[in-house]
Amino acid sequence: MKTRYFEYHMPTKIVFGRGKLALLGQICKNIGNKAILVTGKSAMRDTGILQVVIDSLKSEGVVVSLSDNIPANPDSDTVDAAVEIARQANANVVIGIGGGSVIDAAKAVAVTATTRDSVCNLIGKTLLPSDLALPIIAIPTTAGTGSEVTKGAIIKDSRRNLKSGIRGSDIFPKVALIDPLLCLSMPRTVIIETAFDALTHAIETYVARRATPLSEIISEKSLQLLSVTLPQIEKSQYTEEISETMSLVALYGGINIGNCGSCLPHRLQQATGSLCHIEISHARGLSSLYPSWLEHAVDSSTKKFDQVAKLLNMNNISEFPNLLSNLELPSSLGEIGIEKSDVSTILNNVTGSIENDPIDNVDEAILKSILLNAL
Ligand SMILES: [Zn+2]
């Protein structure tokens, strides 16, 4: 029998449960007493969640400063502005509350705040472990990215026009406070997009070369749960129970991504972020690549793709485009405005590990073939 070797690392404390946002003040006071709260432009304010957060922190004596203008695809200028607020306030803990972009921005603030530099110097790098980064409390208000438990943050470098990751163990949040009730206010498009992102995390970490016996169990459970929730989401049902299941699936995906990484769809989607004329969500970028990637990858890991199809109640993985059309997601790059002339720019901006994909010997020719076939 083949001998097994794998490692598993998940240093983030997980606090999961409906209504548990109320614990924030108590959790935070044990980590830091001067918090910078990083959040998006208006959703948290409009839903009243921001006030609950601030009240909870203040009631435990935590001083709060606020950076509340993080956009959907955070860039270095926005992060640097938040870092300045954190420095001025002498913050000793960063709280990110919002979707994956906000949590990524909070992570970037945490690793930049104690340096004298701009976040631009960290984008595209894997950081060595240090004691310098500020601790992070991540509070997701969407259910999909899993960013609350991963060691990566995707930020666009405004100077180089490069969208890339900052990675390293300092980026793992100290606490992921997951309250599924916070996800109930997601608009339908965000529900669908984040659910699809969670689906891709389950699939990619299942077929990835760095998949482990532990991650495979987690992926299979996620796919099984998604086979129940996706049809409900299609019908616009999003009850507290579904929200709780999706928060769990997102968490599972994040834990797996942190341990096994992702595959080519994530590498290529990230690279499309460098196209100035394309402003598209992570999930739509992924879905537009998926049919082409599956066609290229299926023969490299037949058994596993068969199992993915079975767990998703499909006869064969070739039925995957039906799932996309049921969820009203794009299934080609053309649908999101990407043309043949963009392919070379995408190829020039691919970063991260392409060797993790199940496809053998991935090179530029294979990447180009996936992109052209996806048009
Ligand atoms: Zn993703």
Could you tell me the pTM of the whole model? 0.94
Name the token pair of 34.
């001067």
Residue 250 CA, ligand 1 centroid: distance in Å: 10
pLDDT given at position 1: 59
pLDDT given at position 213: 94
Terminal-residue alpha carbon distance, the chain: 43
Residue ranges of the chain whose pLDDT lies below 50: none
For residues 291 and 320, the answer to whether their CB atoms sit within 8 Å is: yes
Residue 281 CA, ligand 1 centroid: distance in Å: 10
The DSSP secondary structure of 257-274, one letter per residue, reads HHHH---HHHHHHHHHTT
Which distant-in-sequence residues (6+ apart) come within 8 Å of 160 by Cβ?
120, 123
CA 33 to centroid of chain Cα atoms: 28
Residue 2 CA, ligand 1 centroid: distance in Å: 31
Residue 36 CA, ligand 1 centroid: distance in Å: 26
Q: How far apart are CA 94 and CA 35, in angstroms?
A: 6
Cα distances (angstroms) measured from residue 287 to each of 122, 198, 293: 29, 12, 10
pLDDT given at position 275: 80
Residue 167 CA, ligand 1 centroid: distance in Å: 15
User: In 3D, which of 123, 107, 98, 109 has the Cα closest to residue 171?
Assistant: 107
Residue 165 CA, ligand 1 centroid: distance in Å: 12
Residue 267 CA, ligand 1 centroid: distance in Å: 10
pLDDT given at position 90: 97
Q: How far apart are CA 346 and CA 33, in angstroms?
A: 43
Residue 88 CA, ligand 1 centroid: distance in Å: 33
Residue 57 CA, ligand 1 centroid: distance in Å: 30
Q: How far apart are CA 304 and CA 355, in angstroms?
A: 18
For residues 109 and 79, the answer to whether their CB atoms sit within 8 Å is: yes
